[in-house]
């Protein structure tokens, strides 16, 4: 098996699970493309903006169900299921990797997949036949520290484990839902969102990690696009798992509601292979 490319996915509004739009269609292609490029993953290590803790925590339950960590949306969302196997043995391995890097991590024998995890996985592998291990991260950690956190996970790629960060490349909910929970998803993108997304793509392609670590000062409209930055931080974990030597490769670019970026990225030596598999699938 070729080493798996760590990825970052923008999971969007909970309504993405019912209204896939361009990003959901991309997620539907992404699972088969990963299978084609690397083989079916042995497990997914999921780092989501909606699973946070005061210290890193592994959710090492033997089984998971979808958690409905939202309110006020379509009632149909609460009928959707994603019953996936957990990965207790992988949790033990991840504990060893993190502790070997001097990072203390807790483990609980409890489960549950927040919507930032089950929404993309439900599109990628709808049969829920890939085990999942959620890893809660600390939202107070800065991007450089989270990159180092991800770097400790890098050996997993060669063992068939997909490191998946899930968040949002832009995430200002005051702008997104200014017109209510059912605001127009087809609104034209605002200039601030486009500028920030473009900067992330350019700096990632250039491997300009110092600028990326300092994105709140260096990127255009950064504080506007991320009033709090928990939804961008999983990007840095996945990037760290890919390593400094490989560029961040944008696999998908779209947006909804005028300012909610839905971009997806791949990292590490396998990123180009994954991009080629996606291109081949689109051409077929």
The enclosing domain of 157 has a CATH number of 3.40.830.10
SS (H, E, C) the chain: CCCCCCEEEECCCHHHHCCCHHHHHHHHHHHHHHHHHHCCCCEEEEEECCCECCCCEEECCCEECECCCCCCCCHHHHHCCCCEECCHHHHHHHHHHHHHCCCCCEEECCCCECHHHHHHHHHHCCCCCCCEEEEEECCCCCHHHHHHHHHCCHHHHHHCEEEEEEECCCCCHHHHCCCCCCCCCCCCCCHHHHHHHHHHHHHHHCCCHHHHHCHHHHCCCHHHHCCCCCCCHHHHHHHHHHCCCCCCEEEECCEECCCEECCEEECCCCHHHHHHHHHHHHHC
Per-residue pLDDT of the chain (284 residues; tens, 9 = 90+): 689 999 999 999 899 999 999 999 999 999 999 999 999 999 999 999 999 999 999 999 999 999 999 988 889 999 999 999 999 999 999 999 999 999 999 999 999 999 999 999 999 999 999 999 999 999 999 999 999 999 999 999 999 999 999 999 999 988 887 766 667 888 999 999 999 999 999 999 999 999 999 999 999 999 999 999 999 999 999 999 999 999 999 999 999 999 999 999 999 999 999 999 999 988 87
Question: In the prediction, which pLDDT does 180 show?
Answer: 65
> Does residue 157 form part of some domain?
yes
Question: In the prediction, which pLDDT does 179 show?
Answer: 67
> Does residue 173 form part of some domain?
yes
Question: In the prediction, which pLDDT does 273 show?
Answer: 96
The reported pTM is 0.97
Instruction: Give the structural domain span for 177.
Output: 7-283
> Does residue 35 form part of some domain?
yes
> Does residue 2 form part of some domain?
no
Structurally, how many domains does the chain consist of? 1
> Does residue 119 form part of some domain?
yes
> Does residue 272 form part of some domain?
yes
Question: In the prediction, which pLDDT does 183 show?
Answer: 72
> Does residue 82 form part of some domain?
yes
> Does residue 1 form part of some domain?
no
């Amino acid at each position: 098996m070729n080493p798996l490319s760590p990825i970052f996915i923008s999971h969007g509004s909970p309504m993405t699970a019912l209204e896939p739009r361009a990003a959901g269609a991309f997620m539907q292609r992404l699972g088969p493309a990963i299978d084609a490029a690397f083989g079916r993953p042995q497990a997914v290590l999921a780092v989501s903006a909606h699973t946070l803790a005061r210290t890193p925590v592994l959710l090492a339950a033997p089984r998971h169900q979808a958690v409905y960590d939202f309110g006020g949306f379509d009632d149909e969302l609460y009928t959707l299921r994603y019953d996936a196997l957990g990965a207790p043995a992988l949790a033990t391995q991840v504990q060893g990797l993190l502790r070997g890097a001097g990072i203390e991590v807790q483990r609980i024998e409890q489960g549950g997949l927040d919507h930032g995890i089950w929404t993309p996985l439900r599109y990628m592998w709808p049969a829920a036949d890939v085990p999942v291990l959620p890893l809660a991260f600390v939202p107070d950690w800065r991007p450089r520290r989270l990159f180092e956190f991800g770097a400790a996970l890098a050996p997993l790629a060669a063992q068939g484990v997909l490191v998946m960060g899930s968040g949002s490349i832009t995430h200002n909910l005051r702008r997104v839902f200014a017109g209510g929970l059912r605001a127009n998803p087809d609104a034209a993108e605002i200039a601030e969102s486009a500028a920030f997304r473009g900067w992330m793509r350019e700096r990632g392609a250039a491997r300009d990690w110092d600028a990326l670590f300092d994105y709140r000062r260096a990127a255009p409209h950064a504080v506007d696009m991320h009033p709090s930055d928990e939804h961008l931080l999983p990007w840095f974990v996945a990037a760290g798992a890919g390593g400094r030597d490989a560029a961040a490769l944008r696999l998908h670019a779209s947006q909804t509601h005028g300012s909610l970026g839905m971009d997806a990225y791949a990292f590490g030596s396998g990123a180009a292979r994954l991009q080629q598999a996606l291109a081949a699938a689109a051409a077929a």
